[in-house]
Amino acid sequence: MPELPEVEVTRLRIADRLVGARIEAVRLGQPLRWPLGVAPQALVGRQVRAVRRRGKYLLLDLDEGLLLLHLGMSGSLTMGEALPPPGRHDHVDLHTDRGTLRLHDPRRFGAVVHARGEDDAVAQRLLGGLGVEPLEAAFDPIRFHAALRGRRAPIKTVLLAGDVVVGVGNIYASEALFLAGIRPTTPAMRLSRPRVARLHAAIRQVLQRALAVGGSTLRDFRVDGQGGYFQLEMWVYDRAGQPCRVCGTPIRLIRQGQRSTYYCPRCQAR
DNA sequence: CCTGGAACCTGGTAGC
DNA sequence: TGCTACCAGGTTCCAG
């Protein structure tokens, strides 16, 4: 479910209520992708100092250590004063003196992991291999092009891998490649510098636009019950067989590494 | 090092 | 209606 825009929207909506909050109790439901890594009791009394994002991870800096949150495919967060009793997919409740942060995640691909610091082994195992942040200055066309050298895999696959640039998931990879006029199957290393520059601009454009409209709500993405609207502006994603909004050619659907890829065969000729 | 495929888990839906 | 098969916004692990 959540790619960079959805995670960032989540962060922005919960941050001010969470910063300064002190953890009073922790309730765990069914196990997530990884164990918490610390006794829940050890979190009691900790105070949230900041809420940051790295790729698709949310980092809750505590006065001692930090929590790494991932929403997986189906996770979402709610922060509230009087939440209903936990349902069968509410797997973490962080009760604080400023309300409860609840992780709801039917598929349980998400995670909440405690680390002593951002540089310790636990955090590095999750964050260490991540690529550059697409909305930061370090993501520039020259370095992007250089990072694609030696990657024979299709550009769509490389974008999803997240070791070059983070935060671009299945929706925004297809959308960015459409905006850049690039066929998703093109080997990454075969893209010329100007085409990589177009892709660089397209990635930023699509992520920023999605961010501005609250992300994409296809099925279940929500923060405190509120969804986003980017799905209304999609050019190709989830539009197999429908006419391209630019040229009218039917949008094509292919599988790349067990993921659906959508593109316009005419607008994305190569 | 890079790559593609399987795995993790649950729910919704299309098709018979 | 009921069953089956496949699909879903992500990531890691493994073999080649």
Q: Is A183 annotated as a binding residue?
A: no
CB proximity A151–strand B (7 Å threshold): yes
The predicted-structure confidence for A124-158, as pLDDT tens digits, reads as follows 999 999 999 999 999 999 999 999 999 999 999 99
> What pLDDT score does A99 carry?
97
Nearest nt to the A74 alpha carbon by C1': C9
* Helix-helix angle A170-180:A193-212, to 10 degrees: 130
Q: Which of residues 176-205 of A touch strand B (CB under 7 A)?
A: 188
- C1' of C8 to CA of A216 (Å): 14
- C1' of B10 to CA of A180 (Å): 35
Is A233 among the catalytic positions?
Answer: no
* From A46, A56, A108, A198, the catalytic residue: A56
Q: Which of A216-220, A233-237, A264-268 has the lowest mean pLDDT?
A: A216-220
Is the pLDDT assigned to residue A209 strictly greater than 90? yes
For chain A, give the mean pLDDT. 96
The yes or no reply on domain A4-127 and CATH 3.20.190.10 is yes
> What pLDDT score does A1 carry?
67
Fold type of domain A141-263: Helicase, Ruva Protein; domain 3 (1.10.8)
Positions of CATH 1.10.8.50 in chain A: 141-263
Positions of CATH 3.20.190.10 in chain A: 4-127
Which positions on chain B have an atom < 7 Å from some protein CB? 1-11
For a pLDDT cut of 90, what percent of chain A falls above it?
Answer: 95
The predicted-structure confidence for A43-98, as pLDDT tens digits, reads as follows 999 999 999 999 999 999 999 999 999 999 999 999 999 999 999 999 999 999 99
> What pLDDT score does A187 carry?
98
Q: Is A89 annotated as a binding residue?
A: yes
> What pLDDT score does A224 carry?
87
Is A259 among the catalytic positions?
Answer: yes
